[in-house]
Amino acid sequence: MSNAGAHISLYPFPTSGHIIPLLDLADRLLTHGLNVTVFITPKNRALLDPLLSAHSSSPSLHPLLLPSPEISPSFSPAKRLVSMLRTLRDLHYPLLLDWFQSHPSPPVAIVSDFFLGWTQELAAKLGVRRIVFSPSGALAASVYQALWHDQPSIDEHSQISFPGIPNSPKYYWYQISHTYRDLTRGDPDWEFSKENTKFNLLSWGYVFNSFSEIERVYLDHLKQKMGHDRVWAVGPLLPSDVNIAPTNRGGTSSVAVDTVLTWLDERGDNTVIYICFGSRTVLTSKQVEVLAAALEKSQVHFIWCVALQPADGDGAMPEGFEQRLAGKGLLIKGWAPQVAILRHRAVGSFLTHCGWNSTLEGISAGVVMLTWPMGADQFTNANLLADELEVAIRVGESTQIIAESNELARVLTESLDRNRTEKIRVEKLRNTAVRAVNGGSSENELSQFVKKINELRVAKG
């Protein structure tokens, strides 16, 4: 170890949306003088390369390669997630136990993704602290914890209420986590998921990729539930403006970053809509048909990031769409340089599935968001954006609510109006987010977190 600071380990859930924000946290921790070991699988090793390059002159960052889990593609999404978590535990627990016990200067804490609740048992066995990292917001975490704690029955005709959470949120059955919704109550997978979630509230601390100005009441709620104040909001965890273009943050794209930015340079300020539903969501034929028709009717400029299509044909563009809108739109297949796109002066609004990374990137870019959540925590995030922060416009919900193309065309056009109240609010919120990580609330919380970690080393010594 080279730095004078303590040694800490970071253990992400092995998908890009969970890995990337935790690596952004690693970057901050290295800058604050900690020594960091990142547990990573071979399939995701490339995601760590930009961070290793950025800190190549410092021996304070170390990767620990762990075997990749192999999961049957035939499982339902809920079964697939639980199988992944079980396999990670079975594969990695003994390897990590041996690594910690044989290391000359092992980490004083394990910072692990909120899906990896079982690492609480590993940390207890090793006599180190386990800290939860949440790539989702505090509201979403509060709902997920309450869901598994209260175990409400799901009624397809009424909403599920959470009166113990500030603002008493309510959700319909399709807005609830598929893991809770689709598993059989009481079976081994159900019990595993319940225990895995319960471990998070038993952890020594909780780190959120969020900032207190947008989620203060939910952060305070979680402090109350945990019985202590070791809950830190240190976000938005995003690269600086100087790093966004050259950094590979998640994958390869069909269009080079320079080509995308040049295309945007040729458009006027606030004239382009960026459309992305994340790297995993493939739209149904009906969703694509409506959205494509709306874009054609509105004649707005757009960039549409399209997930790679499965064999069944979902997600395919209508015949002749690209040719008819040549010059108006740019299609990107696969990963897109989203942070760079959103921060470009030409982009005025963002049609999004409301994943938390996208939510924070949209806020930090000061663009109006058009919400079309698809699953997981996205419905919770859409509510926060539209109802509480009032910086977003609702346009759809999964396959349950699909706008009519003429109506969607109107909303697309109006979203680029610089005088919209949502635009004014989100620009103010962008400034708040920038301040939070530059001498404000999030930087202060990060400093407090690092101080606590260094105190653990002293206490252990």
Rounded CA separation 353/377 (Å): 10
Rounded CA separation 295/398 (Å): 19
Does residue 106 have a cis peptide bond before it, meaning omega lies within 30 degrees of 0? no
Rounded CA separation 392/303 (Å): 19
Rounded CA separation 333/351 (Å): 16
Rounded CA separation 246/243 (Å): 6
Q: Which of 76, 77, 75, 56 is nearest to 2 (CA)?
A: 56
Contact yes or no for 373/379 (Cβ under 8 A)? yes
For residue 293, what are its two tokens? 């028709």
306, containing H or E segment: strand 301-306
Residues annotated catalytic, as ranges: 18, 113
Contact yes or no for 378/360 (Cβ under 8 A)? no
Q: Which of 333, 263, 344, 283 is nearest to 304 (CA)?
A: 333
